[in-house]
Amino acid sequence: MTQHAKTITPAAASLEALARQRILILDGAMGTQIQTLGLTEEDYRGAGGCACAHHSDHPQKGNNDLLILTQPQAVEEIHFRYAMAGADIVETNTFSATSIAQADYGLEKAVFDLNAQGARIARRAMDRATAIDGRPRFVAGAIGPTNRTASLSPDVNNPGYRAVTFDDLAVAYGQQVTGLIAGGADLILIETIFDTLNAKAAIFACLQAFAATRVTLPLMISGTITDASGRTLSGQTPTAFWHSVAHARPFTVGLNCALGASAMRPHLAELAGVAPTRICAYPNAGLPNAFGQYDETPDQTAAQVADFAREGLVNIVGGCCGTTPDHIRALAEAVAPFRPREVPQ
């Protein structure tokens, strides 16, 4: 079976049709919303110290993905608020739900449940929102970069050393995507890519999972430009990044995180110039201040993202670190007058 003969899900067909009509809206940051809840170690662990079926003696405060199992109501409410603010697509709270990232918390065994439940919770929130306004909504299974990098050494004295291999990553991502599919994710979003080799392992795991389930979900692939020279941490320009992931025939390619919208613009324009697929951009609410907080107001972020839309650079927009439901509402209104970017054939 070739890529062209793939089975398209009804959700994917509906998503493609909508993307031709208008610029679609992705949600904003999950972490910022979780922070406002002021959760304690006990809250993270859940009622009775172990509300989920998985036990770990490691401290869990800060393990935001675990809240899927221990505070599911709170996570669902955040998804719901983003949906009602105008998000067509929300991301599951699974950025760090791989065995590699969960090893820090001793919860490698919880990975399947985190991903499957993470997708189900997001689906519930979307269905509630759709019951209110009738708008279709989509769940993107979020896959983060992990906390290890396959193409760079973490040890300056041993440049040949690697803390993780492509094969390790492919196995870990395979577990994650299997859980996301089991939970009913409509598409898969590989995001905050600072090392393209990690992303290639994630793509490989997705294509394997699609072959095994005989259902191909749309892939969104989002890189992160980490410095002023306009390269990813593994040293690629946006053009090189595109050519490294083009074989996945993604539904979107784009950029997120690290920079605010204005600083992201030239890199986004470069990507839009080379990639014959849809473009997705979800910048931070500006650059972090000295306290690591984001100061841009919803209107400020929305005005800059509207410039992307006015210039015909984007098909999907949303927010990354520091953005809130108010940012997403402002952004959805700001891009509404503009047509989605024409995808080059």
CB of 52 to Zn ion, least distance (A): 27
Instruction: Give the nearer residue to Zn ion in terms of CB position, either 140 or 321.
Output: 321
* Residue 78 · residue 30 · CB < 8 Å: yes
Per-residue tokens: 167 = 């094969």
Instruction: Give the nearer residue to Zn ion in terms of CB position, either 259 or 334.
Output: 259
Partners of 305 in the beta sheet? none
Instruction: Give the nearer residue to Zn ion in terms of CB position, either 60 or 284.
Output: 284
Instruction: Give the nearer residue to Zn ion in terms of CB position, either 183 or 260.
Output: 260
- Give the integer Cα–Cα distance in Å for 268 and 271: 5
Cα distances (Å, whole numbers) of residue 265 to 67, 167, 246, 287: 34, 34, 21, 14
Q: Which residues contact 326 (CB under 8 A, 6 or more apart)?
A: 85, 298
CB of 324 to Zn ion, least distance (A): 13
CB of 224 to Zn ion, least distance (A): 8
CB of 136 to Zn ion, least distance (A): 26
* Residue 90 · residue 108 · CB < 8 Å: no
Instruction: Give the nearer residue to Zn ion in terms of CB position, either 144 or 183.
Output: 144
CB of 58 to Zn ion, least distance (A): 25
* Residue 315 · residue 343 · CB < 8 Å: yes
CB of 142 to Zn ion, least distance (A): 12
The amino acid sitting at 206 is C
Q: Please compute Rg for the chain using Cα positions.
A: 19
- Give the integer Cα–Cα distance in Å for 305 and 183: 32
Instruction: Give the nearer residue to Zn ion in terms of CB position, either 70 or 252.
Output: 252
Per-residue tokens: 21 = 């009509």
Name the 3-class secondary structure at 223: strand
- Give the integer Cα–Cα distance in Å for 124 and 119: 9
- Give the integer Cα–Cα distance in Å for 318 and 29: 9
Instruction: Give the nearer residue to Zn ion in terms of CB position, either 145 or 250.
Output: 145
Contact residues for Zn ion, defined by CB under 5 A: 257, 284, 320-321
CB of 21 to Zn ion, least distance (A): 28
- Give the integer Cα–Cα distance in Å for 29 and 170: 26
Instruction: Give the nearer residue to Zn ion in terms of CB position, either 169 or 320.
Output: 320
Per-residue tokens: 5 = 């003969």
CB of 321 to Zn ion, least distance (A): 3
- Give the integer Cα–Cα distance in Å for 50 and 56: 9
